[in-house]
C-alpha cells in the first residue's frame, strides 16, 4: 500500500477530493484532507436507509418480503389508479431494495413524491432498474412500519450509537424522509457506516443490526453490469461498496480487512477509483 502515491496523484490531477480515510482491521491507518466536514453523499444515503430497514426488520415490525402497499397510508393507496394499484400489488419491499422494479423513472417529481411514484404501471421483473423512486418508497414504507418518522429513526438507531452528531438530510414535500439522496455526512461518519457493515452490524460490542441482515444486504441479490447489487449496496470485488454519484464512496473488502472511504465531487470518478486500486489495493 502506497498511500502517499495515491494522495500525490490526487493533488497532481487536481481532483476535487474532500478527504480520504483508510482502515485496516477496523483501525484508522491513513487520512487525507478534511475528513470531518460534512458533504452531500448523494446515493450513499440509500445504504443508510438500508441499515434502518434491517433494524426494523430485526424487530419484527417490517417484513421486507411483504407488499409495499401494506405499509403505505390507506388514503394514499385508495387514490391510486386501477392499473397502478394492480401493478403494485405484486411489488415487495425486497423488490425495491434490490432495484428490481421496472417502469419507475429514475427521478422523483411533482409536489407529492408519493403520489407520483405510485402513478406508474410498474412490474416486478428480474432486470435491474436503478431508481430514486424505489428508495423513496422504501423510506415511506419504513415510516408506516414503525409508526413514526424514518429520519428520526435513523438518528436514534444508527447515528446515536455510532456517535455521528454532524449530519443533515431532507424530506419530500409531503414530509417523508427522502431516502434516495440529499443526506450530508463527513468522510469519517461515512466510514463509521461502512465499518458497521464490515463488523457485521456491531459497534464497540453493541449490536445495531443483525449479522443475518448485513449478510443479505451486502451480497448479490440482483445482477447488473457493475457486478451485482444487494439491498441498496453495490458489489465490489470480493466485498461491497457504498456509492454516491460524484465520488462519494466507501469500499469494504473483508478479505483484505480494508475499508476505504472518500468524498469527492468528480464528474468522471473512474480514474480516482483506478488510482485507489493501484496504490491502495496494489492491483
Q: What is the C-alpha separation between 92 and 123, in angstroms, rounded? A: 11
Q: What is the C-alpha separation between 240 and 66, in angstroms, rounded? A: 26
Question: What are the C-alpha distances in Å from 172 to residues 36, 149, 181, 211, 244?
Answer: 27, 12, 11, 31, 19
Bridge partners (DSSP) listed for residue 170: none
Bridge partners (DSSP) listed for residue 239: 236
Bridge partners (DSSP) listed for residue 229: 222, 234
Is residue 214 within 8 Å of residue 59, measured between CB atoms?
A: no
Q: Is the pTM of this model over 0.85?
A: yes
The set of cell numbers assigned to 268 is 468522471
pLDDT of 116 reads 94
Bridge partners (DSSP) listed for residue 241: 234, 251
Give the burial class of 145: count Cβ atoms within 10 A of its Cβ; 0-12 exposed, 13-18 middle, 19 or more buried: buried
Q: What is the pLDDT along the chain (283 residues), one digit of tens a residue?
A: 999 999 999 999 999 999 999 999 999 999 999 999 999 999 999 999 999 999 999 999 999 999 999 999 999 999 999 999 999 999 999 999 999 999 999 998 888 999 999 999 888 777 899 999 999 999 999 999 999 999 999 999 999 999 999 999 999 999 999 999 999 999 999 999 999 999 999 999 999 999 999 999 999 999 999 999 999 999 999 999 999 999 999 999 999 999 999 999 999 989 999 999 999 998 7
User: How many beta carbons lie within 10 A of that of residue 276, not counting itself?
Assistant: 20
Is residue 266 within 8 Å of residue 15, measured between CB atoms?
A: yes
The set of cell numbers assigned to 150 is 424514518
H or E element that contains 10? helix 3-13
In which region does residue 272 sit, left (phi positive, over 0), alpha (psi from -120 to 50) or beta (all else)? alpha
Q: What is the C-alpha separation between 35 and 20, in angstroms, rounded? A: 7
Q: What is the C-alpha separation between 176 and 117, in angstroms, rounded? A: 13
Q: What is the C-alpha separation between 179 and 136, in angstroms, rounded? A: 5
Amino acid at each position: 500500500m502506497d498511500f502517499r502515491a495515491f494522495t500525490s496523484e490526487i493533488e497532481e490531477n487536481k481532483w476535487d477530493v474532500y478527504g480520504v480515510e483508510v482502515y485496516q482491521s477496523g483501525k484508522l491507518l491513513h487520512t487525507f484532507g478534511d475528513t470531518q466536514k460534512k458533504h452531500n453523499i448523494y446515493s450513499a444515503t440509500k445504504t443508510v436507509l438500508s441499515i434502518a430497514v434491517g433494524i426494523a426488520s430485526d424487530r419484527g415490525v417490517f417484513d421486507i418480503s411483504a407488499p409495499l402497499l401494506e405499509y403505505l397510508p390507506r388514503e394514499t393507496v385508495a387514490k391510486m389508479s386501477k392499473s397502478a394499484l394492480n401493478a403494485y400489488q405484486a411489488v415487495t419491499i425486497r423488490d425495491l431494495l434490490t432495484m428490481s422494479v421496472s417502469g419507475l423513472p429514475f427521478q422523483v417529481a411533482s409536489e407529492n413524491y408519493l403520489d407520483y411514484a405510485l402513478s406508474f404501471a410498474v412490474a416486478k421483473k428480474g432486470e435491474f432498474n436503478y431508481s430514486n423512486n424505489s428508495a423513496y418508497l422504501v423510506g415511506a414504507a419504513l415510516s408506516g412500519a414503525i409508526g413514526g418518522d424514518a429520519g428520526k429513526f435513523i438518528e436514534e438507531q444508527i447515528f446515536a450509537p455510532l456517535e455521528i452528531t454532524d449530519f443533515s438530510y431532507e424530506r419530500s414535500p409531503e414530509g417523508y424522509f427522502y431516502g434516495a439522496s440529499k443526506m450530508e455526512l463527513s468522510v469519517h461518519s461515512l466510514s463509521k457506516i461502512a465499518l458497521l457493515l464490515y463488523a457485521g452490524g456491531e459497534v464497540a460490542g453493541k449490536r445495531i443490526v443483525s449479522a443475518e441482515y448485513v449478510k443479505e444486504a451486502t451480497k448479490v441479490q440482483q445482477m447488473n453490469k457493475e457486478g451485482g447489487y444487494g439491498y441498496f449496496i453495490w458489489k465490489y470485488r470480493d466485498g461491497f461498496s457504498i456509492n454516491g454519484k460524484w465520488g462519494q464512496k466507501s469500499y469494504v473488502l473483508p478479505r483484505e480487512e480494508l475499508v476505504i472511504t472518500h468524498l469527492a465531487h468528480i464528474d468522471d470518478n473512474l480514474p480516482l477509483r483506478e488510482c485507489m486500486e493501484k496504490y491502495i489495493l496494489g492491483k
